[in-house]
């Protein structure tokens, strides 16, 4: 199954490049085709499915420059695409050199932002859903104990991984009730990954914001295709492309990304299209079923874009 998904993904990404191929190598043709491809693979719908966008390199090249930095990175890509086919390479080498010097200066001037000191992301090693349902209350108690310790240390924001609380049912809500009230009294917020079951049989992959969050629910805009989002089924995780993907957390404009959303470009870039821009991006992931290198690529992709816009990241993962 994994190989089949990888192959289908590779074919999907190859098709635009094949369709836009041309034997005409003049600079205008190459430039327009390259720009068009980058746009098609970044905007919806492909922007929700195109893994590891080359545009993430803008974060390494032009940190803190935001949208102008993204434009400079695209310009650099177009210049490099044209370079092998140019007869007068000096006209391309000069602007390439200027852009590379600009990149060096941007990196020298960049000061990485830090997340608020009273925010904490808790990583867990609880695996997937227990086979024995009688183990669920014990698992939930372990999470509550971790949250209680963080609350006792006066953390204002406590972030847990994706879907770590499993189904957000009345019994689960009851277990968290006391801690929820404690967090409210202390002015703290607990961000908890869970699954919200709907009456029509579908579900949402969500972040539940307890304490100062007043039990707010924020769904993933794009759950993982095949694994969670199966549009040919009625009982599937829903996508929510219309959501902004951000909310105010302890007075900070905060973007959120749930697992798969970290590895595709549009959920990240769209956070910065509406003012005010987020100052922090929180991410929640569940990686118990995958190799560590998979999450590393996913996380680095997100952090590269965050670096481009000069925002801090706080990531929580269940391994």
* DSSP states along 126-156: --S--SSGGGHHHHHHHHHHHHHHHHHTT-S
Query: What does the alpha-carbon distance between residue 313 and residue 298 come to, in Å, rounded to a whole number?
Result: 13
Q: How, if at all, do strands 203-211 and 189-197 pair? A: antiparallel
Query: What does the alpha-carbon distance between residue 181 and residue 156 come to, in Å, rounded to a whole number?
Result: 14
Helices (H), the chain: 2-19, 27-40, 57-61, 66-82, 90-109, 136-152, 170-186, 265-269, 292-309
pTM for the whole structure: 0.93
Q: Domains of the chain, with CATH numbers?
A: 2-40+65-109 (no CATH), 119-318 (3.60.110.10)
pLDDT in tens, the chain (319 residues): 677 877 887 888 888 888 888 888 899 999 999 999 999 999 999 999 999 999 999 999 999 999 999 999 999 999 999 999 998 899 999 999 999 999 999 999 999 999 999 999 999 999 998 988 889 999 999 999 999 999 999 999 999 999 999 999 999 999 999 999 999 999 999 999 999 999 999 999 999 999 998 999 999 999 999 889 999 999 999 999 999 999 999 999 999 999 999 999 999 999 999 889 999 999 999 998 887 777 899 999 999 999 999 999 999 999 8
**Strands of the sheet with 252-258, listed across from one edge:** 246-249, 252-258, 280-286, 312-318
> What Rg do the C-alpha atoms of the chain give, in angstroms?
22
Query: What does the alpha-carbon distance between residue 224 and residue 162 come to, in Å, rounded to a whole number?
Result: 12
Q: How, if at all, do strands 280-286 and 312-318 pair? A: parallel
Closest CA to 151 of 183, 106, 196: 183
Query: What does the alpha-carbon distance between residue 114 and residue 1 come to, in Å, rounded to a whole number?
Result: 40
């Amino acid at each position: 199954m994994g190989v089949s998904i990888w192959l289908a993904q590779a074919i999907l990404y190859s098709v635009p490049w094949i369709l836009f191929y041309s034997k005409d190598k003049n600079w205008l043709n190459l430039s327009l085709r390259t720009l068009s491809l980058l746009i098609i693979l970044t905007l919806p719908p492909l922007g929700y499915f195109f893994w590891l966008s080359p545009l993430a390199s803008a974060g390494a090249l032009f940190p803190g420059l935001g949208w102008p930095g993204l434009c400079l990175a695209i310009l650099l890509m177009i210049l490099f695409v044209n370079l092998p086919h140019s007869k007068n390479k000096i006209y391309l080498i000069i602007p390439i050199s200027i852009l590379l010097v600009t990149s060096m200066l941007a990196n020298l001037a960049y000061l990485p932002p830090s997340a608020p000191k009273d925010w904490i992301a808790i990583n867990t090693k609880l695996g997937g859903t227990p086979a024995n349902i009688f183990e669920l209350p014990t698992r939930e108690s372990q999470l509550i104990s971790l949250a209680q310790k963080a609350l006792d240390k006066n953390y204002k924001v406590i972030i847990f991984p994706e879907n770590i609380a499993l189904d957000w049912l009345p019994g689960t809500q009851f277990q968290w009730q006391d801690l929820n009230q404690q967090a409210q009294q202390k002015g703290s917020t607990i961000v908890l990954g869970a699954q919200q079951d709907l009456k029509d049989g579908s579900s949402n992959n969500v972040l539940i914001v307890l304490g100062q969050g007043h039990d707010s629910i924020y769904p993933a805009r794009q759950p993982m295709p095949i694994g969670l989002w199966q549009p040919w089924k009625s009982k599937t995780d829903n996508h929510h492309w219309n959501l902004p993907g951000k909310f105010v957390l302890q007075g900070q404009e905060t973007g959120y990304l749930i697992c798969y959303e970290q590895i595709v470009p549009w959920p990240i870039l769209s956070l910065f299209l509406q003012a005010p821009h987020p100052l922090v991006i929180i991410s929640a992931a569940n990686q118990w079923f995958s190799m560590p290198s998979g999450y590393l690529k996913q996380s680095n992709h997100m952090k590269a874009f965050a670096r481009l816009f000069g925002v801090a990241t706080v990531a929580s993962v269940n391994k």
